Structure 1
Amino acid sequence: MTRRQVPEGWIILGVSSWLAAAGNWPLWRELHVLGLLEKPAGWALGAVAGGMVLLLLTALLGMLAWPRVLRPAAALLLVAAAAGAHFMGSYGVVIDKGMLLNVLQTDRHEAADLVGPAFALSAGLLAGVPLLLLARCRSRPVGWRAAARRNLGIVAGSLALVVLLALAGFQPLASAMRNHKHLRYMVNPLNTVYALGALAARPLRQVPQPLLATGLDAHVPPRGDRPPLLLLVVGETGRSDHFALNGYGRDTTPELRREGVASFRDAWSCGTSTAASLPCMFSPLGRATFEARTRDTEGLLDVLQHAGMAVLWIDNQSGCKGVCDRVPSVHLARAQDPALCAGGQCLDGILLQGLDRRLAEMPAQQRARGVVLVLHQIGSHGPAYHARSPAAFKRFQPECTAANLQECSRQEVVNAYDNSIAYTDHVLASAIRWLRAVEPQWDTGLLYVSDHGESLGENNLYLHGLPYGIAPDVQKHVPWITWLSTGLQARTGVELECLRQGEVRLTHDHLFHSVLGLMQVETSAYRVSQDAYARCAGRNAPVLP
């Protein structure tokens, strides 16, 4: 293939123009959908926004226009822009550091659900053509000093023009960004570059230090003949309003209703993704303090261990995001079970396999003080909702089986999602039945809380992970379900009938203290005001949001 010698300036202009136009089609579509490109004022806003995006990309490439650097850097930006445009355009997501962290922590099975023919076609069209043209170009030799002068001129000139355009269109631009905050996360691929920089800089803002110890004084006073046993089920992508227990029109939770559980209908997550929510919900800090922290702190599972209890994390997901690093753990997502793991990723029923054996293998001294088994579900993780339920639970038909959810009708997407909730209902009810079976040896209970919710096509949004401040409620409103045996009710004074009466607003901030309260762990880290069960245990402490 003959390679043509092209000045770096033309390469920068060509790549920047392509990225600004084709690579940002989701941004221009969103501006159109919002009605911001109508009439002369809208045309002017579009021209200002387009010009600023082009100039910012030019400045970025100008900083990278060094010998043997420009073409690889441009290729990476083209690939990143193609991927970002596909996911923003197909699922309505935006890209910030939280979303990028989710991508970096995604395992190959989760990635396979997202990367299908539609992704290949979209990425091929957006990146393939410019990459082919880029491969046919070669840079003209230039010295480092000359390159530095040229790059400085490109960057300075581009940024100066950005300032002029911003001043010229300040009023409509500021109004659009103020009223539609998600637009700032849609400038592609600058959103990815910024998020990657923020993640890379995070360790610099947090000086490496040992974990801050929490609850070292924790202990469990001896009570009764039987120790407590709690199944703490961490749900995945469960949204509260699709649980029939919480008023949903479809009967997605018939088995839990028959088990007589209590369901809090006003519970809210710490984040909109697993990477954000999971460490936060097990932390004693609360969401606001957790996000502003400069030092990591031990969490709920550490305090339970300090109290001498037996703790085990059982995972059917892509990991615990650091929550279970200091406790025994079992990872089942790749287990070899022909019935439950036929598709290469296990259904949540695998979490209940061998629980008797796992209990028996725990140290006897710790078991005698109490046991907490944490079951981390794959739950309703999308977009492959159809893969989260076996055939026997696909009662809502037809269901979407496509990786690209926009290929299905919204009802088909909802059907597939609701089938996954129906299967979660079965798994939780089966767990309760197991707890009933071991009641002669234990005072048992189950607590289920999802890590975050999900968008199912409302306002053309799918999946989750939007920045918390702009995410819709369906990505933050989560189920919180409790079942307690008669023994655990008598032990703690918390009656299920009391929990069913009245409604309180809960957040993930309450989880740490609520579990300590149920397990009757005494420690200075416990706050009765943050215990969701305190009002029913005679501790006369209101639950605070």
Structure 2
Amino acid sequence: MLLPHSLTRAPFLLRRRNAPDTEPHAAPPHSPLALAWWIALWIAGPANWPLWKAFAGLPDVTGTRGLLFGIGFGLMIAAATAALLSLLAWRPTFKPALTVVLLTAAVSAHFMGSYGVVIDPTMILNVLGTDVRETRDLLSLRLLESLLLLAALPLWWLWRRPVDYQRGAVRAIRNLASLAGALVMLAAMTLLCFQDLSGTMRNHKELRYLVNPLNGFYSVGRVAYAKQARPAGPPMPIGLDARPLPPLAGQRTPLLLLVVGETARADHFALNGYPRDTDPELRALDVLSFRNVTSCGTNTAASLPCMVSHLGRTAHEARSHNYENLLDLLQHAGLAVLWIENQAGCKEVCDRVPHTRPEQPAPGATPPDDRLCPNGECLDEAMLHGLDARLAALPAPQRAHGVVLVIHQMGSHGPAYSQRSPADRKRFTPECTSTVLQQCDHQRLVNAYDNSIAYTDHVLAQSVRWLRQQTASYDPAMLYLSDHGESLGENNLYLHGLPYAIAPREQKHVPMIAWLPPQRLQADRLDLGCLRGRLDTSLSHDNLFHTVLGLARVRAGEYQPALDALAPCRAAS
């Protein structure tokens, strides 16, 4: 008797339902757990080369004991990675998950090894806020090499292996057994190496941030948890009692131009003792340069919200709620506020105030020309284009109480330092034009960076020239403060973003420069001699909130005169 065609296929279908992902006569299938452990060893070894490079340079892990500790430490990393991969050893997730892990490890190894950065929660926030322009600057052949060697090679091997996933219950038991074995191995190696491990991690905290890619996954989890832990909804209001001070005799409306710098080091300004003439235009303007100022973070995502917070660095990091910021308070006081953005974003601090970009002109104004915005990326000078129109477009009732304009620079953002200054403003040559900084001659690298500082000098001087034109209607002032510094190869570190506790001074020592013309000094009863005598006073980003309120002539319950950098030199009125 002939059976229906569908029934003749049934035994084949039943036979294939639980078969491994292989074809007849192909190579024998592999256990997914065996593959997971091989990948874990690859990640613990070659994919962690920045960790092992740093480990080999430690003076207290030498000799046979150091070698044994290194092997034990590597096995701990392999065991921890295998524990994670054991949870993912299922048919739908196994190979895709390992692909993500290997690609993440390769990218992390490249940036940690090439620039000396680490992957921690603040770096994850910085990555999430990166735009296409910044991403483009970070692409290089060396990144491609890292992807090919550390990810593509093992992925080619992995995807060619047939895998026997077995039935669901058997798979679950074996995955749990592998997880338990990995945890036992991790605990055993920790106990065997505990004395060396605890001493090394205590004395060299940077190592814990180099464990790749586990530290990255942990940091992503920390960021997600912190976001969920804070209540949803709008930030808690501040400055509900904010008010502008009544004008004194001879005072005009305050106009403050707040320039938020990017990646500028205080020790590369001649005003602060740098031997190169990086700021000739500012020095001709008789500005005040505060020489001992510390940032509250080592990257924009950490520093920028902290700079405009009323809490200060310590309380801002430990906060359980999100709060409004300085810009919100100024608006509550009735002032006109405008944020002009030339970076990858304001990290949400300008979300509730008017904000724009240099390529978006004010009504009736023309956009910047190609000289200021070549190739779709604007130079910082473009933010000054059409400022008269932007000022006039602000609501007149708010302008009558005071104006605060904030310009957020591209500044000295790396690694493409050579792109931060136009060709006709290159004071120091030859300069490094590569984004693979460790391959640059150090002097050329410094030349490119110093050219960006010299261009910031020009932009700030142009800002002052514009402010001088407003003296008939306003009492103008300019305050410049960078968000963080930058490493330029010192101790083989580049860029910025190291955890605050271990970051070098180069990443935290920032410039703060004020221009206060005689008209403003007299109107605010400020003693110039007193101010000059306080230029070496220890200050930080914690002072910005209160100093701006002082310059904007705004008072609120959050204002602390002790943190206003100018208050000690202001006569009582």
Q: TM-score when scaled to structure 2? A: 0.92
Alignment partner of 1:79 is 2:103: yes
Q: Secondary structure at the match of 1:259?
A: coil
2:172 counterpart letter in structure 1? A
Count of aligned pairs between the two proteins: 540
Match runs of 1:298-377 below 5 Å = 298-332=324-358, 337-377=369-409
- Map of 2:83 onto structure 1: 59
Aligned counterpart in structure 2 of residue 402 of structure 1, from 434, 441, 454 = 434
Residue identity matched to 1:282:
V
Work out whether residues 67 and 142 of structure 1, in 8 Å CA contact, stay in contact via their aligned partners in 2.
Answer: no
Which protein has the larger Cα radius of gyration, Structure 1 or Structure 2?
2
Q: How far apart are residue 209 of structure 1 and its match?
A: 4.4
Query: Which residue in 1 is equivalent to 2:225?
Result: 201
TM-score, normalized by length of structure 1?
A: 0.96
1:480-523 C-alpha deviation (Å, 9 max, x unpaired)? 10001222212211244432213211111111111001111121
Residue of structure 1 equivalent to 2:291: 265
Identity %, equivalent residues: 52
Cα deviation per residue 1:67-111 (whole Å; 9 max; x = unaligned)? 211111100000000000000110011111111111121101101
2:470 corresponds to 1:438: yes
Report the Cα distance in structure 1 between the residues aligned to 2:240 and 2:440, rounded to whole angstroms.
Answer: 52
Q: 3-state DSSP class of the match of 1:231?
A: strand
Contact kept in structure 2, 1:315 and 1:333, CA below 8 Å? no
SS at match of 1:24: helix
> Which aligned pairs between 1:100-499 and structure 2 lie closer than 5 A?
100-223=124-247, 224=250, 226-332=252-358, 337-499=369-531
Shift of 1:228: 0.9
Alpha-carbon deviation of 1:538?
2.5
| In structure 2, C-alpha distance between the alignment counterparts of 1:518 and 1:175, rounded to whole Å | 49
Q: Give 1:500-539 correspondences, 5 Å limit.
A: 500-502=532-534, 503-538=536-571
Structure 2 residue identity aligned to 1:117 = L
Structure 2 Cα separation of the partners of residues 215 and 321 of structure 1: 21
Gaps of 5+ in 1: 541-545
How big is the alpha-carbon RMSD for the aligned residues of Structure 1 and Structure 2?
Answer: 1.6
CA shift in 2, pair 1:332/1:6, >3 Å: farther
* CA deviation profile, 1:393-428 (whole Å, cap 9, x unmatched): 211122111111011012111111000000000000
* 1:37 CA displacement: 4.5
Aligned amino acid, residue 491 of structure 2: N
CA distance in 1, matches of 2:270, 2:473: 32
Give me the whole-angstrom Cα distance separating, in 2, the residues matched to 1:343 and 1:178.
48
Gaps of 5+ in 2: 1-21, 361-366
- Residue aligned with 1:302, SS: helix
Q: 1: distance between equivalents of 2:234 and 2:129?
A: 23
Once the 2 structures are TM-superposed, how far is the Cα of residue 333 of structure 1 from its aligned partner?
6.6
Cα deviations by residue, 1:322-354 (Å, 9 ceiling, x for unpaired): 110110001237876300111332110011000
Does the CA contact (< 8 Å) of 1:333 and 1:345 recur in 2? no
Amino acid at match of 1:490: Q
Aligned residue type for 1:64: L
Query: Within 2, Cα distance between the matches of 1:333 and 1:246?
Result: 33
Does the Cα contact within 8 Å between 2:294 and 2:540 map onto a contact in 1? yes
Residue 543 of structure 1 is matched in structure 2 by none
- Aligned partners of 2:158 and 2:121: how far apart in 1? 29
Deviations 1:187-209 (A, max 9, x none): 11101111111112123321224
Determine helix, strand or coil for the equivalent of 2:480: strand
Alignment partners' CA distance in 2, 1:204 and 1:215: 26
